[in-house]
Structure 1
Amino acid sequence: MSLDDVQIPDLETTYSRFPNVDHSAINGRDFGISAIVTERQLQLDAVLHEISGLETIMDNVKNLHQQLVDKKEKIMQSMNLHKGLVSTLWRFPTEVLAQIFHYCLPEHVWEHEYHAWGRSYSLSSDPKRDAPMQLARVCRRWRDVVVDMPSLWCKLHLGSRRNSKQSAFCYDAWLKRSKGTPLSVTLLCYKNGETKLRSVIQPYISQISSLDVEFFDGANPGLLLKDIPALQELTIRSHNNDMPAVSQLSLRLPSTLHSFKLVGLDLTLKRLSSLGAIFAQLTKIEVAVHHPNALLRLLQLSPNLSSLTFSLGSGLLKRALEPFTHVKLHSLRITQAYASTLPNLLNALSLPNLRVLAVAHSLRAYPHEELKALLTRSNCPLESLTFDSGVTTDEQRAEYVALMPSLEIVVDHTYDDYLATMLDLS
């Protein structure tokens, strides 16, 4: 039977035009209507039989199609297997594969707001979707190599809103594969989620060397930051500018800590006095400071500091700052400052060991003369001076070269590229 064979029969009768509710023309007599109904029943039975036969054929076609699809996949698997046996990639030594796998890892564990000195990349909070897990699914050999590489499992991003037992199992399996390697852990912590996150990382607490914690909804950092004996780098990101527990950090942080970054919480003189004990051991700090007095105090509290990144608020000075010399600082990055505050700070500082200086796009009313005076006064071995585009003129940059002929001056257009990308997306 073809599609052309399917024709709708003529079903019109003398009675078709009568409404079903109007029986006046029939008046209780049959007039052969029963015979018509019988004929229609026979026609219906025949059509149903044809439909049933067609459905059987369709099921057979579907089964045949699925068998052919399965056959195709098996042929492709066999073909790919045998291609792999002669592939150069298949013959790579394990050490080479390991190096390639390292390039598959994201550079950063978390996506944050844009900064002028580099873009950030995201790492999923679902461990099943991250690079090592994906690599392990390619083939048996890759899985064996990946699972036996602790360095692929030393970064993890956990969120306290992921509450399933399966997630906890995945996190634990991930961290076990690190096999004692120092860990870099990122935590997203919401209020009342501190205990859950701590329970996940507790078996591996002595491995954590780098910790990045972002707190939401008034979450308390105390429990998460307690007793991490090998911690070297700590980043705290707060969405609440009044975090009382931050004043207790110095009581919980180990002597191994050398790098500290605070985002979303300005350092004031009061907070500095409560945190003062930790600064003496730090060599790298990234902070926002409300007042030039507070920044000067930070430098005084951090005699071993070699790298400082800061933004400076608009706090007014009642009198000039006392001169201060920091002999170990060799890298300084200014991300934001006000015309009313930065010149006074630069006039007070001497940095005889400064080698790297960078000035961001967001600097307001760039203090060219004060910076030249700082470099002259410090007589420092400055090697690199970086400005975001639009901060300085060609003439100003030429003056720095005149001061230090071997100085490398860089104009960073990264922020311009970022803006162009955002415009393309809008």
Structure 2
Amino acid sequence: MKVLNLPTEILGKIFDHYVHDRPKVRQVDRARARRISAYSDSQTHPVDLTHICRLWRSSAISMPQLWATIHAFEIESEGDVKMFELWLERSASGAGTYPLTLTIRQKESQGQETPVQCFGEVISLAISQHQRWRHISLWLYADSQPFFEPLYAVAPLSTLREFQVDFNQWNPDGLRHLIRAFCSSTALRSVRIGVGTDNALMRNLVFDIVPWDRLTTLRFFALQPSHFIRILSSSMDTLQHISVSVLVSPFHGDSTTPIPDVTMRRLQSLCIQNFTFGGHGSETFDRLTLPSLRELYLPRGFEDPELQTRGWESLLSLLERSNCKLQAFEFGDDNIPDLIKNLKSPLFEHLTNLTLSSVLANHSDALLQLLDALSEACEETQRPRMLPLLETLMLKFVHSKDSVREMVSARVAAYGGWGKSKLRRVCAQYIDFEEYALEMDLNDRE
């Protein structure tokens, strides 16, 4: 069958794959990137499909799903505004109700009026379609505040499920109005509040506006431990995923209210990328019980000296108290002896995915210790002694690819062959300081 004779449904799947297949997207030079595209790094564009032939043009224009995910990157000209308007128009074809996913990043004006005016036109066009918003992500500078005032008049929103906002020098009133408008949606389930919200704003603004008891996913740039626990206690029956870039110590003069104990019944995934003044991190673990926890991500580990003394102790107590079956774990400091000792605990015996993000390239002896521990077999059970259910292992910045392969072979032998081994994928980055990765897919081995 010739491609021009394909049924519309098949053609639609091909087009959708072309526009939205993220794994095949490559990094794009930002200076040459299209200002309007489906994603920040897209090299495929639905407009290209309309230039092939008359059939493809009419088909692509009639498919709102090709146009309803819009990334507007640093709009700076009327041409960019027209393209944004074109995408909105085509995403509304048919009944005009197809849900929108919008990512809009403002260009810093640096005193120039044109980028600010063009950005304002884009925001006006986006607000005109507020009844179709499903997901929205914004990066905003202070001079954009007036453009959002029409949004406050049309709220409550009805279909918004997720919003993400990063602010740069917005005043508290504007911030309050914008977050309140987003939180007016009864469909809201996911919130990310990034840079630009300090602790005073978090304490006096966000807590009184965000409907914590309806949310399943939360992401923050920075939180104090007391704010973190307060949020958890307000969403203990609904929250499933929470991520914090930095868990910070209270600033001088801030409240030091005692942290209560909290049981999160449904929390499955917890990520804390970095601790500052680490003693507060262990105190946070001490207050939590997470019976449904399946994924724990600590990409910077317990690198703070203040936290190293109690970090692992508090973490193990959390896992034991929660009686959870942790399946995915990421950890990132260089204290390998402690890591090995603790990963041998029965508390990690259900682990299937392990990511070690510490810089082991400069610690070859520590890496060998880790690989030796992963290679050790238990003759009584005919399986590896450490992490027997491990399926995926991600090692960042390791030193020796041969030692990684030897570890894999040892684990396979412990199970009696490739067919019985649990390990299915191993990836190690920047081996021997060269820019390539060792990636072993073991699914097809016999």
* TM-score computed with the length of structure 1 as normaliser: 0.65
Relative to structure 2, which stretch is displaced further, 320-329 or 231-240? Answer: 320-329
Contact 1:160–1:197 (CA<8 Å) still a contact in 2? no
Unpaired runs of at least 5, structure 2 = 110-115, 357-393, 398-427, 437-446
1:343 aligns with 2:343: no
In structure 1, the partner of 2:215 is 282
Query: Matches of 1:392 and 1:359 in 2, distance apart?
Result: 15
In structure 1, the partner of 2:103 is 186
Contact 2:50–2:60 (CA<8 Å) still a contact in 1? yes
Contact 1:238–1:265 (CA<8 Å) still a contact in 2? yes
In structure 1, the partner of 2:76 is 162
In structure 1, the partner of 2:351 is 407
Q: CA deviation at 1:133?
A: 0.7
Which residue type is aligned with residue 169 of structure 1? K
Contact 2:142–2:170 (CA<8 Å) still a contact in 1? no
Q: Considering only aligned residues, what root-mean-square deviation do their CA atoms show, in Å?
A: 3.7
Contact 1:352–1:380 (CA<8 Å) still a contact in 2? yes
| Count of residues paired in the alignment | 327
1:245 aligns with 2:155: no
The percent of aligned pairs where both chains have the same amino acid is: 19
Q: CA deviation at 1:103?
A: 2.6
Q: 1:360 to 1:270 in 2, by over 3 A?
A: same
Q: Secondary structure at the match of 2:15?
A: helix
In structure 2, the partner of 1:152 is 66
Query: Matches of 1:364 and 1:407 in 2, distance apart?
Result: 23
Q: Secondary structure at the match of 2:271?
A: strand
Q: 1:291 to 1:197 in 2, by over 3 A?
A: same
Which residue type is aligned with residue 343 of structure 1? S
In structure 2, the partner of 1:258 is 189
1:271 aligns with 2:202: yes
Q: Secondary structure at the match of 2:139?
A: strand
Equivalent of 1:354 in 293, 301, 320: 293
Contact 1:154–1:175 (CA<8 Å) still a contact in 2? yes
Contact 2:35–2:80 (CA<8 Å) still a contact in 1? no
Query: Matches of 1:224 and 1:214 in 2, distance apart?
Result: 18
Q: Secondary structure at the match of 1:138?
A: coil
Q: 1:239 to 1:363 in 2, by over 3 A?
A: farther
In structure 1, the partner of 2:139 is 214
Query: Matches of 1:369 and 1:326 in 2, distance apart?
Result: 20
CA deviation string 1:297-325 (max 9, x = no partner):
12123332111011211337968633222
Equivalent of 2:328 in 384, 390, 413: 384
Q: Secondary structure at the match of 1:177?
A: helix
Q: Secondary structure at the match of 1:336?
A: coil
Q: CA deviation at 1:91?
A: 5.0
Relative to structure 2, which stretch is displaced further, 121-130 or 176-185? Answer: 121-130
Equivalent of 2:88 in 175, 188, 193: 175
Contact 1:214–1:237 (CA<8 Å) still a contact in 2? yes
1:325 aligns with 2:258: no
Q: CA deviation at 1:107?
A: 6.2
Q: Secondary structure at the match of 2:19?
A: coil
Relative to structure 2, which stretch is displaced further, 382-391 or 245-254? Answer: 382-391
Query: Matches of 1:255 and 1:419 in 2, distance apart?
Result: 46
In structure 2, the partner of 1:297 is 230
Query: Matches of 2:215 and 2:239 in 1, distance apart?
Result: 6
Query: Matches of 1:210 and 1:184 in 2, distance apart?
Result: 5
Which residue type is aligned with residue 403 of structure 1? L
1:203 aligns with 2:128: yes
In structure 2, the partner of 1:27 is none
Q: 1:225 to 1:334 in 2, by over 3 A?
A: farther
Query: Matches of 1:299 and 1:208 in 2, distance apart?
Result: 27
In structure 2, the partner of 1:135 is 49
Unpaired runs of at least 5, structure 1 = 1-85, 112-118
